[in-house]
Amino acid sequence: MLTTTDFLVFAKWSGILTLAGAVVTVMAFIFQWGLRFRLVGVTGFLGVLTGGLFALGIVPFSRTIIPDAARFVVVYDNGGPQTVITVAPNIKETQLDATLRQAASDLYSYGRLGGPTNQMSIRARTIIHPQPGVSKPLFLGDVKRSLANRDDEAMSVNIYSESFAELPKPTSNEPST
Residues 78 and 160 in one domain: yes
pLDDT of residue 4: 85
pLDDT digits (tens, 9 = 90+) for 15-49: 999 999 999 999 999 999 999 999 999 999 999 99
Q: Is position 67 within any domain?
A: no
Q: Is position 68 within any domain?
A: no
Range of the domain at 43: 4-58
Of all residues in the chain, what percent carry a pLDDT higher than 90? 67
Residues 24 and 90 in one domain: no
Of all residues in the chain, what percent carry a pLDDT higher than 70? 94
Would you say 84 and 100 are in contact if contact means Cβ atoms under 8 Å apart?
no
Would you say 34 and 69 are in contact if contact means Cβ atoms under 8 Å apart?
no
pLDDT digits (tens, 9 = 90+) for 129-161: 988 999 999 999 999 998 888 888 889 999 999
Residues 140 and 85 in one domain: yes
Task: Answer yes or no: is pLDDT of 174 > 60.
Answer: no
pLDDT of residue 172: 62
pLDDT of residue 29: 97
Contacts of 73 (CB under 8 A, 6+ apart): 85, 86
Domains identified in the chain, total number: 2
0.85 surpassed by pTM? no
pLDDT of residue 150: 80
Residues 53 and 79 in one domain: no
Q: Is position 66 within any domain?
A: no
Contacts of 114 (CB under 8 A, 6+ apart): 80, 81, 120, 147, 148
Residues 18 and 90 in one domain: no
